[in-house]
Structure 1
Amino acid sequence: VIMPGLINTHGHIYSAFARGMSLKNSKVSKNFTQILENLWWRVDRALELPEIEYSAYTTYIEGIRNGVTTGFDHHASAGRVPDSLFTIAEVAKKLGVRTSLCYEVSDRDGEKIADEGIKENADFIAYAKGQDDDMIKGLFGLHASFTLSDRTLEKCVAAANGAGFHVHVAEGIDDLYDSLKKYGKRVVERLHDASILGPQSIAVHCIHINAREMDILKDTDTIVVHNPESNMGNAVGCSAALHMMEKGVLMGLGTDGYTTDMLESFKVANILHKHNLGDPSVGWAESAQMLLVNNAKICARYFNKPLGVIDKGAYADIIVVDYEAPTPITESNTSSHILFGMMGRSVRSTMINGRFVMKDREILTADEREVYRKARELAAAFWERA
């Protein structure tokens, strides 16, 4: 089966080396904030450029193997902010992957690190604008409301110079509580007042929001990205993604670093909302809309030619899937075959920008065995340091 390449609208390359890791002196995390403090913020503080480079290699290669041709990444490496996005971009170029990058600015590690993040975003956005091949894009990354002061948000808006933002929004309940306590506003209201929202901005998760906040997202034409597996794994709740779609919010599908397999995320999105709403009739059309239609619409806001479609004038980002259909495939049931019959590892060949980057399951743009050997070597040392 020949299909358009898949698009991941929210991921975290920096989390790659956490797979299999057991942190020393780690406490049991009983809520999302503790997960951040006990795991992810320890990981990002320990990253150096070599780990960032090979986290990018392994994540992008896994994406290629799963048919992902475009990935939006939200990066953090408080231990090494300068050049982090440029390092990832260089890997993307070598592998031939289409990508959008940003650095998550946060006050959690102090003003110096926050300012470094602001500069890295601004420098990278300027660099990406100077690229003429439409393969690398830059957004302005923000962590979340609860780790960003008003002053830092003001600095980010000034430095962004009109670029869109990529930010976690009301993922955990503590983000909401913090905003209400400190600012007397809900998270979406605060970000709206700070000029963060808009058609070029991506608001990730949006779990703990109310109807008024949904209206703000719709009225500002802000993109929202749903990450079902991550939300379940972190026990933060299930977003009202289907309701937001009914309101007209552009809702994309991502992975939040939980996987690189968009077909897996598609399957989980479908069943999560059935379970959450107690209604087996929902989720079918909406999950397909997120992955197969809306992610392409999101890309259209940043890239010059269509993605996520096979059409005249669109970029040649195409995958070949090894799938022998046991029942007829028709125009009306294609998404059902994708949902129930395919998985990322069904992808046999991946083409990006008219160039095969994987053919018959062989990665063509890197020495995969050497990449993974080096990654394991770096990860083992990283685990000792983190």
Structure 2
Amino acid sequence: MLLIGNGRLIARDAQGTFFEDGCVAIEGQTIKKVGTTAELRKEFPKEEFIDAKGGVIMPGFINMHNHIYSTFARGLSINGYHPKNFMDILEGQWWRIDRTLNLDDSYHSAKIAYLDSIKNGVTTVFDHHASYGAIEGSLTQLSNAADELGVRTCLCYEVSDRDGEDKMKAAVKENADFIKASAARNDDMQKAMMGMHAAFTLSDKSLEHCAAYTPEGVGYHIHIAEDIADVYDSLKKHGKPIINRLYDLGILGKQTMAGHCIHIGPHEMEMLRDTNTMVVTNPESNMGNAVGCPPAMRMFNDYGILMGLGTDGYTNDLTESYKVGNIIHKHHLADPNAAWAEIPEMLFTNNPKMANRYFEKKLGVIEEGAAADVIVLAYKGPTPMTKDNYNAHILFGMNGGAVTDTIINGEVRMRNREVQGVDEEKIWHAAQAQAQSLWNRINA
């Protein structure tokens, strides 16, 4: 058994439980009990104890939309790359990178992404992978990296027509193979979805091919209307909005996750709501790509769509997305009241709800029977922290770098900022060498 105590404990349960001096007892892969430090240390006096030192104890973060393959883009300069719009960004950078990626690139970039997730207190990652330079076995590379680092993850491969029919079919097969492999596991640590790039790079025939290899209970992970070009493409080629087209082809539904949804209208929001389709918003990426601000407040408040928060490969620090999500909607709507409640509900309530449409054990909460995914942050705060204001303390006072301890599935993956069970320096060194190799190939 493991005790984590002597900290302000934010449980994120239905009762809003908050302990000034809280403690959580972990047995195996599950949370056994929650209470005060004095109570639990008296009840379990001989058990291993992690001292939060007056910091904050809370559930691990869940990243609902990431792109691990973007890891080696940091600092990359591509010859002749001067984008003027989002399509230029895709063609000139991301598709050029993923067409060059080999299996070693995928593996080492995943090692870094999962390592960085641990260091930022992210215990579950939903990833959307692309590596058209090496499709077959690429999800296995990510899976192996996740197993080695001990991070809970849900994977898919980005199906697209952009490199021809053969590679589209190979991408579908990669998804189908991994869906079978993840289903054969009994540890609730890895799940799978059928990944799709976006409507504008997929014909109806290709979407139908995806559906033919997607088992019941498995949904789709797809970008929707991230750029206005996606909207124009659907209207021009198919005579209908994107959401209508996906609905007609049976892509929407409870297990499906739609990334971005920036350029959609009210009737499309109604269809997302009525099909119980999940939506993930990615504020930093949207600003960085200059694609616009999504109508997230309308989707959330007016239509009741289940919305979560992701990073879209921009970072592995979810507190960054919280901070930017809080201000992008205030700025866009010229409303100082926007997003105060909605963004933290997406991050701390909805992300776990969405993740639990795939993972069995309850995530995102510190309560008896839930998954033992717990983090500790070194944070004191210049003002009192209470059950009514702890979100404001997280928003304005904490970041991923404040995380000192990360426990995933009952295993201590980082203690006192030291990642456990792996040679961190070796991982970084190998990744830098692999990244340089990738850069050389891209600019050859």
TM-score bin (small chain): over 0.9
In structure 2, the residue matched to 1:306 is 362
3-state SS of 2:127 partner = strand
In structure 1, the residue matched to 2:245 is 190
In structure 2, the residue matched to 1:215 is 270
- Residue 290 of structure 1, aligned match among 346, 369, 394: 346
1:173 pairs with 2:173 = no
3-state SS of 1:284 partner = coil
1:166-200 C-alpha deviation (Å, 9 max, x unpaired):
00000011000000000001111111111111000
Give the deviation of 1:242 after TM superposition.
Answer: 1.0
1:165, 1:201 within 8 Å by CA — same for their partners in 2? yes
Give the deviation of 1:23 after TM superposition.
Answer: 1.0
CA distance in 1, matches of 2:158, 2:213: 14
1:199, 1:222 within 8 Å by CA — same for their partners in 2? yes
In structure 1, the residue matched to 2:9 is none
The more displaced of 67-76 and 298-307 is 298-307
CA distance in 1, matches of 2:81, 2:397: 40
Letter in 2 for 1:136: Q
3-state SS of 1:20 partner = coil
In structure 2, the residue matched to 1:232 is 287
2:60, 2:373 within 8 Å by CA — same for their partners in 1? yes
1:113-157 C-alpha deviation (Å, 9 max, x unpaired):
101000000010011111100000000000000000010000000
- Aligned-pair identity in percent equals 55
Give the deviation of 1:27 after TM superposition.
Answer: 3.0
1:274-333 C-alpha deviation (Å, 9 max, x unpaired):
000000011110111011111011111111111010011100000000001211111111
In structure 1, the residue matched to 2:296 is 241
Count of residues in correspondence between the two structures: 385
Letter in 2 for 1:345: G
In structure 1, the residue matched to 2:138 is 84
1:79-129 C-alpha deviation (Å, 9 max, x unpaired):
100000011001101110000000000000001110100000001001111
CA distance in 2, matches of 1:121, 1:75: 10
In structure 1, the residue matched to 2:174 is 120
Letter in 1 for 2:297: L
Letter in 2 for 1:360: N
CA distance in 2, matches of 1:141, 1:27: 27
1:356 pairs with 2:427 = no
In structure 2, the residue matched to 1:203 is 258
- Residue 125 of structure 2, aligned match among 35, 56, 71: 71
Letter in 1 for 2:167: I
CA distance in 2, matches of 1:151, 1:318: 44
The runs of at least 4 consecutive aligned structure 1 residues that moved more than 2 Å come to: none
CA distance in 2, matches of 1:348, 1:109: 43
- Residue 325 of structure 1, aligned match among 381, 395, 399: 381
3-state SS of 1:166 partner = strand
1:153 pairs with 2:153 = no
1:19-48 C-alpha deviation (Å, 9 max, x unpaired):
111112x23101101100000000000000
2:81, 2:93 within 8 Å by CA — same for their partners in 1? no
Letter in 2 for 1:230: S
- Residue 277 of structure 1, aligned match among 322, 326, 333: 333
1:99 pairs with 2:99 = no
CA distance in 1, matches of 2:338, 2:228: 25
3-state SS of 1:287 partner = helix
3-state SS of 2:222 partner = strand
1:41-78 C-alpha deviation (Å, 9 max, x unpaired):
00000000111001000011111111000000000000
3-state SS of 1:217 partner = helix
1:374 pairs with 2:435 = no
CA distance in 2, matches of 1:370, 1:305: 33
Give the deviation of 1:365 after TM superposition.
Answer: 2.9
1:16 pairs with 2:76 = no
Letter in 1 for 2:269: M
CA distance in 2, matches of 1:300, 1:23: 39
Q: TM-score, normalised by structure 2?
A: 0.86
- Residue 311 of structure 2, aligned match among 246, 255, 268: 255
1:96, 1:365 within 8 Å by CA — same for their partners in 2? no
CA distance in 1, matches of 2:271, 2:177: 30
In structure 2, the residue matched to 1:338 is 394
